[in-house]
Amino acid sequence: MVMEKEKGWAEFFRVIGHPVRLRILERLVKDQACVKDIWGCLELPQAVVSQHLAVLRAKGIVGCEREGAAVRYFVKDKRVPRVIQLMEEGCLKEDV
């Protein structure tokens, strides 16, 4: 029987494991950003970025704050920066 902790981790990795969501999280780990900043930086359509941000928000991985007309997104889940760091250091090798 799978334990609840393992189910939570599996869901976490399922959600962040999409290539577009990983790129978004890599950007947000560096600094908060609005949708326009994200899609401009990643050269992705605004609709694509918005859809993936909605998934990340629904799972509590990112949060947002309204600043006037703009909405700024930030990483909310404290596991994300460490996972991104491990990937960038090559600890999560592709050939494993």
Edge-to-edge order in the sheet of strand 62-67:
33-34, 70-75, 62-67
Q: What is the pLDDT of residues 24-62, one digit of tens each?
A: 999 999 999 999 999 898 888 999 999 999 999 999 999
Partner residues linked to 74 by β-bridges: 63
Residues near 12 by beta carbon (within 8 Å), at least 6 away in sequence: 59, 61, 77, 79
pTM of the full structure: 0.86
* Residue 86: partners with Cβ closer than 8 Å, 6 or more residues away: 92
CATH no. of 4-88:
1.10.10.10
Domain ranges of the chain: 4-88
| pLDDT value for 23 | 94
